[in-house]
Amino acid sequence: MVKIIAIANQKGGVAKTTTAVNLAASLAVLKKRVLLVDLDAQGNATMGSGVHKNELNYSIADVMLGDAPIEAAINKVESNYKVLGSNRELAGAELVIAEQEQREFILRDALKQIENNFDFILIDCAPSLNLITVNAFCAADSVLIPMQCEYYALEGLADLCQTIERINQTLNPNLEILGVLRTMYDGRSALTKDVSEELEQYFGDKLFQTVIPRNVRLAEAPAHGVPVMYFEKSSKGAVSYLTFAAELVKKMKKAAQKQAEQKQGAKS
C-alpha cells in the first residue's frame, strides 16, 4: 500500500526540499515507485528534479483547481521518480481553494486517483502552516520533519506538533509524526550535539539515527537539476540520503509488521 509522507517544518531553510528531492531519488534506487509532489509555490523541488517550473504542461495548482486531470500533470524525470510540479500559480490557487467546500481535502482526493501506481508519495511543503500545507497533512499518513540542529531549532516545533495533533484529532485521524531528520549536521560543533541530545529526549525513537551532514555538493546539485547522487555519487550527501532512505524503509516495514501482529493478536 502507498505511503504518503508530508515533509514539513514551518521554518524555511531547514532542508525540506533537499530532503524531498534526494529521498525521492534514493527510494527510487531502492526500486520503489515514487511520486514527488511539490507543494511550494517557489517550485524548488520541481527545478531541483530537472523540470522547469515555468514550462509545465500542468502544475499542482491546475490539479487542485480542477483544471487538469492529475495524470496529465505528472512528469517523469531521469532520476527514476515522477514529479507533480509547482510554480507561483499555487499562491493564487490558495485563495480560490479557500472558498471551496471540502477545501482541506482537495489534494487527498486528487492523489486517491493515482496512489495505487506508487509505493511512496512525498509532499514537499512550503515553510508555512497555511491551507495548502493543511491539504498536505490531510492527504498524508505521516509527517517527516527535517531539522537543523541550531539554537532556535526547537522554537516553533511545538506549533508544528500541535498542528499535527489537531489535524489528527479532527480532519485526518491517520496522521502521525513519522520522525525527525537532523540535517546540515556538524558533529564537531558542541551546539549541534546539545540540540541533538535535546531532540533525542523529546522525540525518542522518532528521531532518525541517520544524520545528514553539511555537504556543499547537496547545495550545488539543484543548479544542475539533479539529485546529489547524479551529481556526485560518492559525496557524503549522496551516501547519507541513501542510508536515510534505507533506514526509513526498514522502520516502516517494522511498523507494518508490528501492526499486523497486533491485529492478529486482537483476533485470537
Among 212, 229, 238, 242, binds ligand ADP (CB under 6 A): 212
- Under the criterion CB under 6 A, does residue 239 sit at the interface with ligand ADP? no
Residue 215 interacts with, from Mg ion, ligand ADP, none (CB under 5-8 Å by kind):
ligand ADP
Residue 44 or 86: the one with the smaller Cβ distance to ligand ADP is 44
In 3D space, the residue among 69, 153, 83 whose CA is nearest the CA of residue 113 turns out to be 69
Cell of 8: 514539513
Among 33, 88, 206, 214, binds ligand ADP (CB under 6 A): 214
- Under the criterion CB under 6 A, does residue 37 sit at the interface with ligand ADP? no
- Under the criterion CB under 6 A, does residue 13 sit at the interface with ligand ADP? yes
Binding mask 39-78 for ligand ADP (x = CB under 6 A): -----x----------------------------------
| Least Å from the CB of residue 183 to ligand ADP | 5
Residue 91 or 246: the one with the smaller Cβ distance to Mg ion is 91
Residue 127 CA to residue 125 CA, distance in Å, equals 7
In 3D space, the residue among 36, 3, 8, 4 whose CA is nearest the CA of residue 181 turns out to be 8
Residue found by looking up cell 520541481 in the block: 46
Residue 218 interacts with, from ligand ADP, Mg ion, none (CB under 5-8 Å by kind):
ligand ADP
Residues from 115 through 144 that contact ligand ADP (CB under 6 A): 127
Residue 44 or 172: the one with the smaller Cβ distance to Mg ion is 44
| Overall residue count recorded for the chain in this entry | 268
Residue 15 interacts with, from ligand ADP, Mg ion, none (CB under 5-8 Å by kind):
ligand ADP
- Segment interacting with ligand ADP (CB under 6 A) among 90-98, 103-111, 209-217, 259-267: 209-217
Residue 132 CA to residue 103 CA, distance in Å, equals 9
- Under the criterion CB under 6 A, does residue 215 sit at the interface with ligand ADP? yes
Residue 184 interacts with, from ligand ADP, Mg ion, none (CB under 5-8 Å by kind):
ligand ADP
Cell of 62: 491546475
Interface residues toward ligand ADP, by CB under 6 A? 12-18, 44, 127, 183-184, 212, 214-215, 218-219, 222, 237
